[in-house]
């Protein structure tokens, strides 16, 4: 049963492997909220990965892609 089947179920816990993929997706310019939905986590968790608050030893770019309006 996933979070979508039972909304009272807590979000998933991200692994280091998840975080590495999330960093790659962010580098490719994907939006945080769309990545968060794929992992069933709050967008703040994706932000924590992006800025090194989670899994700080993983390499990150010094500059992230800019999104156009």
pLDDT at residue 12, as a whole number = 80
Q: Kindly list the structural domains of the chain, giving each domain's residue range(s) and its CATH number in brackets, ordered by start.
A: 1-53 (1.10.10)
**pLDDT (tens digit, 9 = 90+) per residue, 27-55?**
999 999 999 999 999 999 999 999 999 99
Confidence of residue 3 (pLDDT cuts 50, 70, 90): low
pLDDT at residue 1, as a whole number = 45
Of 9, 1, 6, 51, the residue nearest 26 (C-alpha): 51
Q: What is the largest CA-CA distance in the chain?
A: 39
- Output the pTM of the full model: 0.82
pLDDT at residue 67, as a whole number = 72
Task: Decide which of 12 and 56 is more confident.
Answer: 56
Contact 32, 44 (CB under 8 A): no
């Amino acid at each position: 049963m996933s979070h979508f089947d039972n909304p009272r179920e807590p979000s998933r816990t991200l692994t280091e492997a998840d975080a590495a993929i999330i960093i790659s997706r962010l580098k490719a310019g994907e939006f945080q909220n769309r990545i968060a939905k794929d992992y069933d986590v709050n967008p703040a968790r994706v932000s924590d990965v992006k800025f090194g608050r989670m899994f700080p030893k993983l390499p990150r770019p010094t500059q992230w892609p800019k999104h156009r309006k």
